[in-house]
């Protein structure tokens, strides 16, 4: 006999928790079970990120990211207000340090306008007035960007779910999902679970569960490690906004930034180096299965061939703190090597195509009785509530 629910959610990161939350709102009478393999929720990407509430500047107009990030900014703030989760809209400055970057920043300003994200162009003098420690030729001020501890958002979601009677099972790993005409059955490391519909929000491991369930797609989730440092408390007044470089538009990562944290500190990072373990965070972490999955995927080798310079730069930043510091010195020369204190790292799940191309947008795939979240990189923490609403709209049609 297997335990029965209406909806089964796999994964207790922010996307899985938000999905359960939206399901409760839309279908309060439904029996909902969330299965998480770890002893706690939010131990992976959702608890190990920059903590930025993004405002929707960077994303291709019309994409899911562009639409759901704007909605997510608003809904995250409303959720924080309603559930007493500390947040602050400190604003962000994207800083151009050369003529070439200024041109790219202009293109970014147009994109922000197309996405409906308010921005203000700052000349070098105005930038220096706002941020005396930062130098650049120009900057784009994004006043709506904010900061929050997404781990705290996850815990507030968990409290709502428990109050609503959602069954939250920790230490329960889903090993496989099998659909029949009338139900979906999850084999786990404990008892089997049966539901009318399953929603898989398994972060960096989502593609493996989907393949095991028989889905076919021509990309894989590749883990990219993000190393951070933290500035000493004495330097926590260094900047008033988040400070970002102008990103390479071909890459999904935003470059090493100075991020104001809701606990009053400032983090520096993250880098974006290939990780040899999906869910381990030591500098030398290695997992044979994860590494094998990665190296057997031809898209990885094509990706490395497409972006050799970025690969070398990330490797250098991973090995050498001095090189890492050079990336920051482009826009903030006042930080010294001794200011780079240890800070927890994270591992991002990023979809890479078989042709080596990076898939930028969020990807949700539906079968008759399940939805799989197959690409939910940044800004998916910001966008989790509206991503969840999309998923629930799909699932409610069943």
Ligand X SMILES: Cc1cc2nc3c(=O)[nH]c(=O)nc-3n(C[C@H](O)[C@H](O)[C@H](O)COP(=O)(O)OP(=O)(O)OC[C@H]3O[C@@H](n4cnc5c(N)ncnc54)[C@H](O)[C@@H]3O)c2cc1C
**CA neighbor of 294 nearest in space, from 352, 355, 370, 231:** 352
How many Å apart are CA 187 and CA 189, to the nearest integer? 7
Report the alpha-carbon distance of residue 149 to residue 83 in Å, rounded.
13
Q: How far is the CB of 42 from ligand X (least distance, A)?
A: 6
Distance between CA atoms of 24 and 30, rounded to whole angstroms? 7
Of 119 and 209, which CB lies nearer to ligand X in the complex structure? Answer: 209
Instruction: Report in angstroms how near the CB of residue 297 gets to ligand X at its nearest.
Output: 18
Instruction: Give the shortest CB-27-to-ligand X separation in angstroms.
Output: 21
Task: Supply the minimum distance, in Å, between the C-beta of residue 391 and ligand X.
Answer: 11
Residue facing ligand X at closest CB distance: 13
Do 174 and 187 touch, CB atoms closer than 8 A?
Answer: yes
Residues that bind ligand X (CB under 6 A): 10-16, 35-38, 43-46, 48-52, 54, 173-174, 201-205, 209, 226, 270, 346-348, 373, 376-382
Q: Which residues, including other chains, have CB under 8 Å from residue 148's CB and lie 6 or more apart?
A: 51, 53, 76, 80, 85, 86, 87, 88, 262
d(CA 54, CA 299): 29
Alpha-carbon span 222 to 3, nearest angstrom: 33
Least CB distance from residue 189 to ligand X, whole Å? 9
Smaller CB distance to ligand X: residue 52 or 222? 52
Closer residue to ligand X, CB minimum distance, 76 or 138: 76
In this complex, which beta carbon is closest to ligand X, that of residue 69 or of residue 138?
69
Looking at beta carbons only, is 97 or 345 nearer to ligand X?
Answer: 345
Identity of the residue, 97 or 383, whose beta carbon is nearer to ligand X in the bound complex: 383
Let me know: does 358 contact 304? Beta carbons within 8 Å.
Answer: no
Structure tokens at 199: 């929603």
Closest approach of ligand X to the CB of residue 377, in Å: 5
User: Which CB atom, from 162 or from 305, has the smaller least distance to ligand X?
Assistant: 162
Closest CA to 145 of 74, 78, 238, 68: 74
Query: Closest distance between ligand X and the C-beta of residue 278, in Å?
Result: 9
**Can you say whether the dihedral through the CA atoms of 249, 250, 255, 259 is positive or negative?**
positive
């Amino acid at each position: 006999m297997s335990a029965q629910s209406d909806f089964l959610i796999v994964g207790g990161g922010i996307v899985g928790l938000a999905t359960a939350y939206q399901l409760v709102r839309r279908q309060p009478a439904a029996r909902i079970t969330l299965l998480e393999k770890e002893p706690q929720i939010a131990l992976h990407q959702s608890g190990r990120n920059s903590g930025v509430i993004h405002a929707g500047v960077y994303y291709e107009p019309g994409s899911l990211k562009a639409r759901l990030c704007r909605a997510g900014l608003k809904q995250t703030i409303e959720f924080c207000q309603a559930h007493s989760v500390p947040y602050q809209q400190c604003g962000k400055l994207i800083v151009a340090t050369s003529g070439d970057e200024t041109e790219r920043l202009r293109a970014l300003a147009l994109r922000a306008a197309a996405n409906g994200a308010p921005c203000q162009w700052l000349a070098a003098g105005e930038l220096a007035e706002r941020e005396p420690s930062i130098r650049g030729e120009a900057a784009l001020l994004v006043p709506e960007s904010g900061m929050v501890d997404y781990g705290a958002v996850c815990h507030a979601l968990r409290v709502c779910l428990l109050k609503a009677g959602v069954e939250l099972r920790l230490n329960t790993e889903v090993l496989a999902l099998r659909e029949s005409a009338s139900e979906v059955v999850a084999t786990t490391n404990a008892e089997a679970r049966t539901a009318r519909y399953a929603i898989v929000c398994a972060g960096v491991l989502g593609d493996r569960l989907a393949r095991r369930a028989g889905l076919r797609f021509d990309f894989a989730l590749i883990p990219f490690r993000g190393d951070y440092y933290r500035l000493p408390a004495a330097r926590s007044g260094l900047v008033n906004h988040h400070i970002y470089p102008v990103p390479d538009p071909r890459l999904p990562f935003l470059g090493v930034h100075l991020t104001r944290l809701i606990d009053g500190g400032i983090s520096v990072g993250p880098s974006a180096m290939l990780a040899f373990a999906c869910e381990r965070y030591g500098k030398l972490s290695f997992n044979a299965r994860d590494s094998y999955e990665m190296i057997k995927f031809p898209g990885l080798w094509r990706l490395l061939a497409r972006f050799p310079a970025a690969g070398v730069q990330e490797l250098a930043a991973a090995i050498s703190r001095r090189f890492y510091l050079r990336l920051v010195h482009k826009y903030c020369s006042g930080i010294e090597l001794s200011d780079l204190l240890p800070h927890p790292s994270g591992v991002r799940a990023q979809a890479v195509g078989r042709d080596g191309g990076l898939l930028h947008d969020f990807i949700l795939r539906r079968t008759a009785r399940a939805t799989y979240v197959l690409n939910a990189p940044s800004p998916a923490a910001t966008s989790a509530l509206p991503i969840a609403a999309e998923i629930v709209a799909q699932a409610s049609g069943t």
